[in-house]
């Protein structure tokens, strides 16, 4: 794919993200429509964002006790951070991500309002990996954006009935939430989970666990947080002069840590030729460092998005992309 086209695509995506409407916690709307494992029936009517979501997540599945325990550990640790204080005494609602239960979306809710989320991925050894997490109302699977795209794609017929045999699944590609829509007899359509924008191809990291995420083995501890004050912007599209700055050479976690501590306006992550797979480019402004009992190795999550509201595995970024400094763009 032409890099210029990727840049145009992701620029449009970034603009739409600002208009994303958050999802309501699972459970409240499950009674509004019947889900069937992500597959809609000819009788399903979708005339609202809540009904679009319940078609995908309406069928509740048993949540493994080990998954609940792991998720509660992470939520408890994060709630001790100032920026996550509204996670204290919050409820957690679980929705499976297809196919099967290879992944889970855990929505953190307080007083009926979504205040954050976690995405967890199953691993080959039967454990779970924390793939990403975020705070605030914006959710990775945006039902309003999905509903609007179903209308634009012509999949909602007269009376707002979903075309018979059309299946809709919420899936997770490495760093990228995805809606997979399969009309009967046609190729699947992949949409960005946050914005509803159509992806140019199937994301290459579909159903893949992070390279070095946070595992459910051992008691977890958040041992460090770096959130520098920013004087610039968190939107790399406001000024593209960073494209002319030299690529930063990071040999590992310590180089990334030093760069984040030194930078006042953040780092731009980009993956040339694969930006669409990672929702890039985006700005990294902070870090969380985690450690499990009995281990010395720290696992880093990089803060991105407005005010550092979305946290992604740093190992994935270091392995599949490059960084440039926003300072060089004189924003």
Residue 308 gets the label, from left (phi > 0), alpha (psi -120 to 50) or beta, of left
- Nearest-angstrom CA–CA distance, 110 and 222: 22
- Note the pLDDT tens digit of each residue in 160-190: 888 888 999 999 887 889 999 999 889 999 9
Q: Tokens 């010395």 identify what position? A: 296
Contact indicator for 125, 150 with CB cutoff of 8 Å: no
Least confident piece of the model among 28-42, 124-138, 161-175: 28-42
- Note the pLDDT tens digit of each residue in 255-289: 999 988 887 667 899 999 888 878 889 999 899 99
Quote the radius of gyration of the chain (alpha carbons, Å).
Answer: 19
Beta partners for residue 292, in sequence order: 220
- Note the pLDDT tens digit of each residue in 206-244: 655 555 667 777 788 999 998 765 656 678 888 788 888
DSSP state of 281: -
Beta partners for residue 289, in sequence order: 224, 300
What's the start-to-end Cα distance of the chain, in Å?
A: 29
Scanning 188-307, the segments in alpha helix (DSSP H) are 253-262, 275-278
Indicate whether 16 pLDDT > 90. no
Instruction: Report which of 148, 188, 149, 193 is spatially closest to residue 173, judged by C-alpha positions.
Output: 193
- Nearest-angstrom CA–CA distance, 134 and 115: 9
Residue 5 gets the label, from left (phi > 0), alpha (psi -120 to 50) or beta, of alpha
Residue that wins the pLDDT comparison between 70 and 5: 70
Residue that wins the pLDDT comparison between 126 and 9: 126
- Nearest-angstrom CA–CA distance, 63 and 68: 7
Instruction: Report which of 124, 114, 152 is spatially closest to residue 309, judged by C-alpha positions.
Output: 114
Dihedral Cα 199, 203, 209, 211, nearest 10 deg: -110
| Statement: the pTM of the whole predicted model exceeds 0.85 | no
- Nearest-angstrom CA–CA distance, 146 and 181: 10
- Nearest-angstrom CA–CA distance, 190 and 171: 10
What pLDDT does 87 receive? Answer: 97
Scanning 2-101, the segments in alpha helix (DSSP H) are 3-17, 49-57, 65-78
Beta partners for residue 274, in sequence order: none
DSSP state of 161: B
């Amino acid at each position: 794919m032409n890099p210029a086209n990727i840049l145009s695509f992701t620029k449009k995506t970034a603009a739409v993200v600002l208009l994303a409407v958050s999802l309501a916690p699972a459970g409240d709307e499950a009674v509004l429509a019947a889900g069937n494992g992500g597959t809609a029936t000819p009788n399903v009517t979708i005339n609202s964002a809540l009904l679009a979501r319940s078609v995908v997540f309406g069928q509740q599945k048993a949540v493994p006790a080990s998954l609940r325990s792991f998720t509660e550990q992470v939520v408890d640790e994060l709630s001790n951070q100032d920026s996550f204080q509204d996670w204290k005494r919050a409820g957690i609602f679980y929705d499976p991500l297809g196919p099967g239960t290879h992944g889970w979306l855990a929505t953190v809710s307080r007083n009926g309002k979504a205040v954050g989320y976690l995405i967890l991925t199953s691993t080959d050894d039967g454990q779970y990996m924390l793939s990403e997490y975020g705070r605030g109302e914006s959710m990775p699977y945006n039902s309003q954006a999905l509903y609007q795209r179903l209308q634009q794609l012509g999949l909602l017929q007269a009376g707002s009935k979903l075309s018979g045999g059309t299946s809709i699944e919420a899936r997770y590609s490495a760093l990228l939430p995805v809606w997979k829509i399969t009309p009967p007899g046609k190729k699947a359509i992949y949409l960005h989970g946050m914005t509803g924008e159509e992806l140019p191809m199937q994301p290459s990291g579909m159903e893949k666990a992070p390279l070095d995420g946070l595992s459910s083995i051992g008691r977890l501890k958040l041992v460090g947080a770096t959130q520098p004050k920013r004087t610039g912007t968190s939107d790399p599209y406001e000024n593209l002069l960073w494209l002319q700055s030299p690529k930063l050479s990071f040999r590992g976690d310590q180089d990334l840590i030093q760069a984040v501590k030194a930078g006042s306006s953040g780092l731009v992550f980009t993956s040339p030729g694969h930006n669409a797979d990672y929702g890039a480019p985006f700005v990294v402004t902070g870090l969380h460092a985690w450690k499990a009992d009995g281990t010395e190795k720290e696992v880093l999550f990089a803060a991105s998005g407005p005010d550092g509201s979305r946290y992604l595995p740093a190992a994935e970024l270091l392995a599949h992309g490059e960084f440039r400094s926003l300072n060089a763009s004189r924003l």
